[in-house]
Amino acid sequence: MSQKATVLFDAPGPRARRRNAIIGVLGIALLAGGLAWVVYRFDQTGQFDSQKWDPFQYTAIQQMILDGLKATLKAFALAVVFSLVLGALLAAARLSDHRPVRWAATAFVTFFRAMPLLILIFFLYLAPAKLSYWPGFLDFINDDPMWPLVIGLSLYNGTVQAENMRAGILALPKGQSEAAYALGLRKYQVMTFILVPQGIRSMLPTIISQMVVTLKDTSLGFLITYEELLFIAKRLGSYQDYGLPLIPAAIVVGTIYIISCMILSGVAVWLERFLSRGRKGRVQKIDVVSGETLGAGAGISV
Amino acid sequence: MKVLTDNWDLISEGFVTTLKLTLWCGLVALVLGTLLAACRVSPVAPLRWFGAAYVNLVRNTPLTLIMFFVALGFPKLNWNMDYFTFAVIAVGGYTAAFICEAVRSGINTVPIGQAEAARSIGMSFNQTLTLIVLPQALRAVIPPIGSLLIAMVRNSAIASAFNVHDLFGTNAQMVENGNDVVLVFLWIAVGYLIITLSMSALFALLEKKLAVAR
């Protein structure tokens, strides 16, 4: 970040530089002090004891963590595939020429977006066992806690992805579809050959940012006893033999989560840059503060 | 309807807890988020680094993990508070990272000329930010903050898994007592909808009130 690119403040003179330096030093001191205090608390409560960290060198424990990661990635992959398929279907339905189809899709999207995801997942987790009129062919949901998680994630993220795709298609210049219709293409041809490829292309960074949300939300599986990463962390943290290493386990697992999410976020930012480079004449949004172009990193989805 | 009237005490208590949770988490998120945004655009480099590090770290961490670390980890460090406070720290701190980014991109929607004009009449960074840029950014930022806070209410349901007896947390006891699962979850969903819908109405009103022709 070069100082030149900002418009919020002047290029600092000698006095401002001195003041900024003082605030900077104070800030660093405050942060370092806070960090030192946290480290001190860790040390005081024995979080650095080798007894608590040793288990992470054992292959059996490493295998456990790896299995947890595998379970997380499996739920993530399934949820992403299902949510993209569902999103495409819902987006198509919301852009349909038939009013009942449009209404049904709108109602579906509104309902599942307003619902807390946890309620959805818990409902799917509890309902098959508790309901007498649960349809038999859906019993597989009861066999593996992965299914309530995957289905819940797919339903929720599917509706969000549908809105992303719809927004991408609606944002295209009207001339695109008009030209296609003028050439005599049918509606489905206009959609599949003209609008969808361009819409997806422009929304790809947003779609991938939503996948980061999906990846983070797989940790909800922990609450319904799906044996993913966080569940493994809890289990590790309860091992009496290793002195209940809950905090070391949380740090190890947290690092894995953060790195995987950052890789995925990085892909989104890179794609955004890559895609906007190809289009000449497109007005780039410049970050007022840093002079950087705004990337998908500025996306705001929780 | 019978499920609702039979369990009225339980549900209303949970509803009030969720409301309180929303209020406190929202407050923490807004204050911390705005401070972080100010850090991220400040002329002091270490503050910018801190803001960027916080946002990138927290946004890429699942809320469940943060909740896990705060609610189960803090007692191990001899920081003992009640679970409600833990939930406020976790959910508020998590949402703050998103609020920060919303405010920062709101600052970006203010035309450059505004900040330039402010500087050219000799205003300092603090004056430019508090008198010129932030009041205008606030208007652009109301819709995204509204949807972030609504998402926060939905996320706050996670607190129920960590010993906070909120609206969602009532389901276990009600299902235990033999109530119909579908109806129990339906009423809980209605409770959340009441909060989120009234919030989106409130933010739509705010948006209308604060709208100015540009």
pLDDT tens readout for residues B77-101: 888 888 999 999 999 999 999 999 9
Whether B154 contacts chain A with CB within 8 A: yes
Using alpha carbons, select from A98, A122, A80 the residue that is nearest to residue A208. A80
Nearest residue of A to residue B45 by CA position? A24
pLDDT class of A288 with cuts at 50, 70, 90: very low
pLDDT tens readout for residues A17-29: 888 889 889 988 9
Whether B61 contacts chain A with CB within 8 A: yes
| Strand, coil or helix: A170 | helix
**Interchain proximity B128–A9, CB inside 8 Å:** yes
From chain A, pick out residues whose CB is under 8 angstroms from the CB of B43: 3, 6, 8-9, 12, 16, 20
pLDDT class of A6 with cuts at 50, 70, 90: low
Across A123-137, A180-194, B51-65, least confident range = A123-137
Whether B138 contacts chain A with CB within 8 A: no
Question: What's the pLDDT at B85?
Answer: 93
**Would the pLDDT of A282 be above 70?**
no
**Would the pLDDT of B28 be above 50?**
yes
**Interchain proximity A233–B56, CB inside 8 Å:** no
Q: Do the Cβ atoms of A130 and B181 come closer than 8 Å?
A: yes
**Interchain proximity B77–A41, CB inside 8 Å:** yes
Whether B135 contacts chain A with CB within 8 A: no
Q: Which residues contact A167 (CB under 8 A, 6 or more apart)?
A: A203
Question: What's the pLDDT at A287?
Answer: 46
Query: What ipTM does the predicted assembly reach?
Result: 0.84
Please compute the mean of the pLDDT values over residues B133-153 and round it to a whole number.
88
* B100/B38 Cα distance (integer angstroms): 8
Question: What's the pLDDT at A296?
Answer: 41
User: Looking at domain B2-210, which CATH architecture does it have?
Assistant: Orthogonal Bundle (1.10)
Whether B74 contacts chain A with CB within 8 A: no
* A23/A263 Cα distance (integer angstroms): 33
**Interchain proximity B110–A288, CB inside 8 Å:** yes
Whether B121 contacts chain A with CB within 8 A: no
Q: In one letter, which amino acid is B157?
A: A
Q: How far is CA A300 from CA A1, B32, B51, in A?
A: 22, 17, 16
Question: What's the pLDDT at A274?
Answer: 85
> What are the residue ranges spanned by the domains of chain A?
52-277
> In angstroms, how far apart are the furthest CA atoms of chain A?
77
Please compute the mean of the pLDDT values over residues A126-147 and round it to a whole number.
78
Please compute the mean of the pLDDT values over residues A104-118 and round it to a whole number.
89
Using alpha carbons, select from B115, B100, B107 the residue that is nearest to residue B140. B107
From chain B, pick out residues whose CB is under 8 angstroms from the CB of A217: 62
Token output for A49: 């004891």
Nearest residue of A to residue B170 by CA position? A119
**Interchain proximity A27–B76, CB inside 8 Å:** no
pLDDT tens readout for residues B169-179: 888 888 878 78
Q: In this structure, what DSSP letter does residue A139 have?
A: T
pTM of the model: 0.85
pLDDT class of B208 with cuts at 50, 70, 90: confident
* B112/B109 Cα distance (integer angstroms): 9
pLDDT tens readout for residues A143-192: 788 999 999 999 999 999 999 999 889 888 999 999 999 999 998 899 88
Would you say domain A52-277 falls under CATH 1.10.357.10?
Answer: no
From chain B, pick out residues whose CB is under 8 angstroms from the CB of A212: 60
**Would the pLDDT of B32 be above 60?**
yes
Question: What's the pLDDT at A8?
Answer: 72
pLDDT class of A291 with cuts at 50, 70, 90: very low
**Would the pLDDT of B209 be above 70?**
yes
Question: What's the pLDDT at A294?
Answer: 41
Please compute the mean of the pLDDT values over residues A221-239 and round it to a whole number.
89
Please compute the mean of the pLDDT values over residues A220-244 and round it to a whole number.
87
**Interchain proximity A257–B189, CB inside 8 Å:** no
Q: Do the Cβ atoms of A221 and A145 come closer than 8 Å?
A: yes
Mutating which of B42, B57, B60, B187 best tests the A interface, going by the most A Cβ atoms within 10 A? B60
Q: Do the Cβ atoms of A172 and A198 come closer than 8 Å?
A: yes
pLDDT tens readout for residues A53-85: 888 888 888 999 999 999 999 999 999 999 999
**Interchain proximity A127–B181, CB inside 8 Å:** yes
Question: What's the pLDDT at A84?
Answer: 94
